[in-house]
A and B are shown apart, each in its own frame.
Chain A
């Protein structure tokens, strides 16, 4: 069987190019690939692509009885499993290290950083709350699945609208979307994740949004999740080349600028999509 990429000539070529300040796909060191967001016919369905890496995310909601220890809050579960569609190296039922990283980061970025206002998901305390389910499917892994997955998750949550609910006393009425316009989720903030790859040769600067080859040959990855208001949610660096504190601060500043641009882009895309739909008639 052919050993997995990268081969030695690929490795040498990449490092030689990086030494000269060139990335193989022509980008700058701190430039991400173009982001495209495609929204589906239903609300809460989005296909996000970062260059050739593609991820599909979908949100749906159902009403359930809350657990007794938290009767005033709704909850959100995230399901993401890599299938052989993302790459034939992934096997079902055997999570690779990358898959575990993705699951944990998604959990940290979306659940633990309190993106969704859980109290607003409460309908009737102790009896009925919204249970949001975020399903993430990786369609194609061309490097930096993590950023793409986090972006798709956040955009799906922003795009989703839940049915309007009316509570009178103990009675709960759920209005179908044809009668009352569905309402958006109440989100505290919008974190975006940026991954930087370092190389074992410390003279090479870190690259933002590594593609497949760069990710395979990295000497360390650092992921930063932050929102457009410069609030850090997650900083993850698991192993790899040690970094100076000055380098880390530089990277955080770069990520902060990128987060602002990305936020503006996402908002404009959501606005465009919203205008194309007929959700309410006034």
Chain B
């Protein structure tokens, strides 16, 4: 089940980077990031960068829910950004909702986390230890009520059939091996919607839900990677076109050659 995502880099002029992300066909969030920049004396930390997240809904003043989500995002970002690299600075995130969000669901939290990650990738000025991608999972009982399956992004499901739901965030990093990018779950909000002895959350169930979320999260990560690659390929093509106008024979370089010729 690959999630249908819309993602793009944006070009806001007064911040260091911005990106849009949404599950579905239109972007749900626009995140901008500025950093590392000057920090207020009160918020300064002597050995690490301060991370500030502002979540702004489309309608209404930001309220308690926005504050809760901002705390969640800050935790997720702290895990992927190497904050010790830039002490006494500020990394400022502003997450702007592009669609009305009367209630912040797990899907929206996942979208926000992915959006922040995407804007970090666009910035390039902030050292990261990995890339965090998130998806939301729900355990849905089937129509006859006996079996239950794990579904990604279950927006259309009948609410009474959803037994437990949550968002899983995975950190993709190549710190462990160079061939494959391993992922580890760094944050979750898995909870049962019917608290009580019969339908409470069990450890094995949590593990199953997490395994169900791993593959879609990897697919989201692949999409982010291909977005970055696209941007790089367009830039290289442009320089190739400029060079070709000077040289007599146009050499067509494909991606493999480019990697070989790329200098580090």
Contact = CB atoms under 8 A, between A and B. Distances in A.
B98 A85 contact: no
Contacts of B98: 40, 45, 56
A209 interface: no
A40 B54 contact: no
Q: Give the interface centre of B12, B38, B54 by most chain A CB atoms within 10 Å.
A: B12
Contact of A85 (B15, B26, B60, B99): B15
Nearest to B33: A85
Q: Is the interface of B mostly helix, strand, loop or mixed?
A: loop
Nearest to A54: B12
A49 to B, nearest CB: 10
A84 B96 CA distance: 11
A92 B93 CA distance: 13
A83 interface: yes
B183 interface: no
Given A87-B14, A142-B14, A92 B96 contact: no
16 contacts: A54-B12, A79-B59, A83-B94, A84-B92, A85-B32, A87-B14, A88-B34, A88-B37, A88-B92, A92-B54, A133-B59, A137-B58, A139-B12, A139-B32, A139-B96, A140-B12
B107 to A, nearest CB: 17
A83 B30 CA distance: 13
B96 A83 contact: yes
A84 B54 contact: yes
B96 A85 contact: yes
Interface in B18-41: 18, 26, 30, 32, 34, 37-38
Interface string A129-172: 00001010101111000000000000000000000000000000
A106 to B, nearest CB: 16
Interface string B1-16: 0000000000011110
A223 interface: no
Interface in A87-131: 87-88, 92
B58 A139 contact: no
Contacts of A52: 13
A88 B14 contact: yes
A84 B94 contact: yes
A140 B37 contact: no
B210 interface: no
Contacts of B30: 85, 139
B34 A84 contact: yes
B195 interface: no
Interface in B216-241: none
B61 interface: yes
Given A40-B98, A79-B61, A140 B13 contact: yes
Interface of A: 1-2, 40-42, 45, 52-54, 56, 58, 60, 79, 81, 83-88, 92, 133, 135, 137, 139-142
B18 to A, nearest CB: 8
Nearest to B30: A139
Nearest to B99: A42
Contacts of A86: 14
Contacts of A45: 98
Given A41-B26, A60-B100, A92-B54, A85 B38 contact: no
A137 B12 CA distance: 13
B4 to A, nearest CB: 15
Contacts of B12: 54, 85, 139-140
A135 B92 CA distance: 23
Contacts of B100: 58, 60
Given A41-B26, A84-B92, A92-B54, A58 B59 contact: yes
Contacts of A135: 58-60
A40 B26 contact: yes
A85 B34 CA distance: 8
Given A58-B58, A83-B56, A140 B14 contact: yes
A60 B59 CA distance: 8
A54 B38 CA distance: 24
Contacts of A137: 56, 58, 96
A39 to B, nearest CB: 12
Nearest to A53: B13
B174 to A, nearest CB: 31
A87 B16 CA distance: 10
A60 B102 CA distance: 12
Contacts of B99: 42
A141 B54 contact: no
A40 B25 CA distance: 12
Interface string B63-100: 00000000000000000000000000000101010111
A52 B12 CA distance: 8
Contacts of A139: 12, 30, 32, 96
Contact of B94 (A58, A79, A85, A133): A85
A135 B100 CA distance: 11
A88 B16 CA distance: 10
